A = this chain, B = another copy of it.
């Protein structure tokens, strides 16, 4: 991964995206371009026929984009900036050349694609088996990242997408997402800010993610 980062340091040009701009649109020429997100958040979605959009994924800094379109001519989805973003553009052709020269870069790239497959399989598994509350809590824990060193000090995690986007991504409705978040807040597990949240009891959330039921509105912890 380090090598890959270095790779795109040298090979890629950089673009700035303002909130609301598109990195690419579904159906556009892919041109063998991959993207590496340096900062900011994007959503990947397919504009569905009836105006509704199907959210495929949200990116975080350090993610790659466009890896589902290697060897394909046209983009399968659109990428929309939820915040201002810095994105590196990397030609797949350049990576391929690098892979010819550097012996291990090919392994790194394959491993990256492989991890992406695994990530998608995990997401699908969650959609198959988990209920609304479980999905939402898992989503929050993913966004919050790994537990901080000092257990008392929980960090503020950004949540730059709309409830509609979240619900679409999780296969739910905005109403259900809102209700569940409110419940979590009422119980004191999390607190909600404008465009972010804070985990206040990671153990409780992990219990919920593991399948524990969520009481509707009791005060107890």
Interface set of A (CB-CB < 8 Å, partner B): 46, 54-57, 67-72, 76-77, 92, 96, 99-100, 103, 106-111, 113-118, 120-121, 123-125, 127-129, 168-171
Contacts and interface: CB of A to CB of B under 8 A. Distances in A.
The number of times this chain is found in the oligomer is 2
By secondary structure, the A interface counts as helix
Contacts of A69: 114, 118
A168 B165 CA distance: 26
Contact of A113 (B76, B103, B113): B113
Nearest to A50: B211
Contacts of A96: 106-107, 110
B117 A113 contact: yes
B117 A71 contact: no
B117 A116 contact: yes
Contacts of A168: 128
Given A71-B107, A117-B120, A125 B46 contact: yes
A108 B100 CA distance: 14
8 closest cross-chain pairs (CB), A and B: A71-B111, A120-B120, A70-B114, A128-B171, A113-B113, A127-B127, A68-B118, A68-B117
